[in-house]
């Protein structure tokens, strides 16, 4: 099968298209094969490719196959899902540490990593959301704020942030979105009560206090701004980061934590159904062939992409 391998840690040029044997379900009883149609390119893929997690992933040496998100069709039946069902999900790549990611024609997955894709949702849209939308939902769960809380979401122009804005608004919170000023209109349509344009941290805090003079109950920091935003949080509030590498130092009884997205088939099904019903927007910035993975990484690295870049397989 066709895959894209990380041949050595480094820049996008280390990504190479090669052929590998198809995964054999006999090697992992209980797992099922998915024939991929699309794979999302996540920020984590870039960090792993660069070698940033090489020490943490010391058991794994290049060459290996990157990739969390997938959408495709079931080759083997899974509980409640017959062969041929359109499915999407994400491989918990770091926890798995097998280097058998989704930049590949076929992956072998646990049934609880995947959910059926509604007819209304195409494969590229389905591959754009699993890790990001599940992580955004799990971050909100981790915050455990009562309905009606005031919540700041940073990186609101990005993929995880956009989902967090929409899901928090659906949960009945008053959402302040910190994102690109140009996206203000769209972020309001997605449910933000107020939009603070990105800028210097003290301006951002002043902007948040302009909308929430008593400060916010919680922050979900998808832009990894961390400590400079703490003054915007109430005493005893909550601050959840999208990365354990960027968690602020706690002060004034603010609970600080980091979310780690974990596969959850039921939650993913709910999110895909919302997309199918037109109640949750997902955005695909570009669709490129699998073989153009290096170009996809360059585009993600350049930033300012309005949505997920997806590889067609």
Ligand X SMILES: NC(=O)c1ccc[n+]([C@@H]2O[C@H](COP(=O)([O-])OP(=O)(O)OC[C@H]3O[C@@H](n4cnc5c(N)ncnc54)[C@H](OP(=O)(O)O)[C@@H]3O)[C@@H](O)[C@H]2O)c1
Chain residues that interact with ligand X, rule: CB under 6 A: 42-44, 131-132, 135, 154-155, 157-161, 178, 198, 222-225, 242-243, 259-261, 303-304
Beta strands 308-312 and 284-289 are parallel
Other CB atoms closer than 10 Å to residue 89's CB: what's the count? 32
Least distance in angstroms from the C-beta of 46 to ligand X: 8
Joined together, the tokens standing for residue 105 give: 């024609």
Least distance in angstroms from the C-beta of 180 to ligand X: 6
Distances in whole angstroms, Cα of residue 228 to Cα of each of 10, 204, 205, 249, 252: 31, 9, 8, 10, 14
Instruction: Give dist(CA 109, CA 87) in Å, integer.
Output: 11
Q: Is 212 helix (H, G, I), strand (E, B) or coil?
A: coil
Q: Give 76 or 257: the residue with its C-beta nearer to ligand X.
A: 257
Least distance in angstroms from the C-beta of 309 to ligand X: 9
Q: Give 78 or 91: the residue with its C-beta nearer to ligand X.
A: 91
Q: Give 160 or 280: the residue with its C-beta nearer to ligand X.
A: 160
Instruction: Give dist(CA 232, CA 204) in Å, integer.
Output: 9
Q: Give 42 or 166: the residue with its C-beta nearer to ligand X.
A: 42
Least distance in angstroms from the C-beta of 27 to ligand X: 27
Other CB atoms closer than 10 Å to residue 214's CB: what's the count? 8
Least distance in angstroms from the C-beta of 26 to ligand X: 31
Q: Give 252 or 262: the residue with its C-beta nearer to ligand X.
A: 262
């Amino acid at each position: 099968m066709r895959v894209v391998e990380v041949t050595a840690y480094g820049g996008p040029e280390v990504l190479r298209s090669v052929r590998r044997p198809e995964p054999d379900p006999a090697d992992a009883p209980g797992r099922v094969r998915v024939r991929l149609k699309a794979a999302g390119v996540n920020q984590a893929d870039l960090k792993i490719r660069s070698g940033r997690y090489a020490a943490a992933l010391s058991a794994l040496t290049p060459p290996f196959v990157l990739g969390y998100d997938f959408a495709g069709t079931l080759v083997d039946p899974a509980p409640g899902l017959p062969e041929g069902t359109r499915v999407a999900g994400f491989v918990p790549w770091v926890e798995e540490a097998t280097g058998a990611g989704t930049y590949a024609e076929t992956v072998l997955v646990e049934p609880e990593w995947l959910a059926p894709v509604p007819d209304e949702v195409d494969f590229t849209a389905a591959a754009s959301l699993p890790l990001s939308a599940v992580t955004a939902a799990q971050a909100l769960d981790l915050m455990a704020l009562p309905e009606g809380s005031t919540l700041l979401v940073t990186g609101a122009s990005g993929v995880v942030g956009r989902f967090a804005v929409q899901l928090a608004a659906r949960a009945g919170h008053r959402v302040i979105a910190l994102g690109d000023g140009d996206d203000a209109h769209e972020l309001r349509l997605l449910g933000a009560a107020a939009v603070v344009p990105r800028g210097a941290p003290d301006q951002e805090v002043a902007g948040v206090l302009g909308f929430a003079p008593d400060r916010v109950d919680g922050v979900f920091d998808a832009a990894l701004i961390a400590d400079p935003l703490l003054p915007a949080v109430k005493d005893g509030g909550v601050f959840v980061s999208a990365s354990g590498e960027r968690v602020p130092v706690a002060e004034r009884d603010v609970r600080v934590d980091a979310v780690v997205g974990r596969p959850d088939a039921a939650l993913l099904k709910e999110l895909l159904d919302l997309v199918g019903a037109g109640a949750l927007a997902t955005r695909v910035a570009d669709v490129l062939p699998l073989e153009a993975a290096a170009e996809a990484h360059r585009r993600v690295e350049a930033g300012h992409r309005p949505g997920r870049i997806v590889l067609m397989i």
